[in-house]
Amino acid sequence: MIKISNVTKKYGDFTAVKDLSLTVNKAEFLVILGPSGCGKSTLLRLINKMIARDSGEIEVNGEDIDDLKGEELRKTIGYVIQSIGLFPHMDVKKNIATVPHLLKWKNDKISKRVDEMLALVGLEPEKYRDKKPSELSGGEAQRIGVARAIASDPDILLMDEPFGAVDPINRLRLQKEFRKIQKELKKTVVFVTHDIDEALLLSDRICILNQGEIVQIDTPERIVLDPKNEFVKDFFKGEGILTILSRKPAIDYAEAVLLEEEPLDENATLRDVLTEMLTTGKDRVALINGSISWDSILKVAGSDINEV
């Protein structure tokens, strides 16, 4: 758990983070979203003491970070960023082993861990462990970055646009894989992005920042369907509805009305139902456990559906 209380950070006269309070729960995936320069990266770097705050308190797993040395704290918190990436002179296994090595793990434990991490992010250990970063594609390098961050099994991961350099197709695959890993391993994640779809797809909650202050912090559904003010509304511009629908399994919304037609696949989402309705003109679509009506979709999506 991370508890941030009334934290302010200034660069000279400029206040980048203003009296900000926020709690990130254990095993929660919190996305920090906001326009360029709103203080997202600054907030992340305050948590692992890469920069010092001017006032306020930060606790990590119940401990005041002022009672911990920066290097010690950073060994227990994974950190992934887009721009620095991997150490170019080290091969993949040395890159992944950085923190386990600092933690003085035994060599055989480290080797085993490196292979486990490569498998976890979907890269064959035999093929990848001896490669240099220059021999990797952008997507592969990002996976190694994620593997490195979780190699020492930290409870907490801070991620600053970690998939920013990856092409859209691989990016979606990486996002889904990473969310699955995070749920399985119950990691607490604070993830910075300015990509709305990424935020909606990954998060348990989204924290919207503007000029160093929290504008709204809530579940993706509530942020999209019930934006707190014009800033949040403008930020999403009605874009989020389809992503929200794609997070919801259609069978959860089935009504006991049976139709004599081929049902949609059991994994179909409300977005698939909407596509079926829009392409066929039907106002009710068959599911394996009943059917779903256009009105139900409208109810889930709110009136904004008319704008998509």
Ligand X SMILES: Nc1ncnc2c1ncn2[C@@H]1O[C@H](COP(=O)(O)OP(=O)(O)OP(=O)(O)O)[C@@H](O)[C@H]1O
Q: Could you list the residues that contact ligand X (CB under 6 A)?
A: 11, 14, 16, 34, 36-42, 194
Beta partners for 208?
Answer: 33, 216
Eight-class DSSP state of 254: -
Q: Residue 197 in contact with residue 212, Cβ under 8 Å?
A: no
Neighbours of 236 (CB within 10 A): 19
Toward ligand X, which CB reaches closer, 1 or 50? 50
Closest Cα partner for 221 from 300, 294, 299? Answer: 300
Shortest Cβ 290–ligand X spacing (Å): 44
Shortest Cβ 41–ligand X spacing (Å): 3
Report which residue type is found at 16. A
Eight-class DSSP state of 288: T
Beta partners for 299?
Answer: none
Closest Cα partner for 150 from 197, 206, 124, 188? Answer: 188
Toward ligand X, which CB reaches closer, 36 or 303? 36
Residues 6+ apart with CB under 8 A from 282: 276
Toward ligand X, which CB reaches closer, 12 or 168? 12
Shortest Cβ 194–ligand X spacing (Å): 5
Please list the helix, strand and coil fractions of the chain in percent, rounded to the nearest 5, in that order.
Answer: 45, 25, 30
Shortest Cβ 161–ligand X spacing (Å): 7
Shortest Cβ 138–ligand X spacing (Å): 19
Shortest Cβ 100–ligand X spacing (Å): 29
Angle (CA) 236 240 244, round 5°: 150
Toward ligand X, which CB reaches closer, 16 or 47? 16
Toward ligand X, which CB reaches closer, 37 or 122? 37
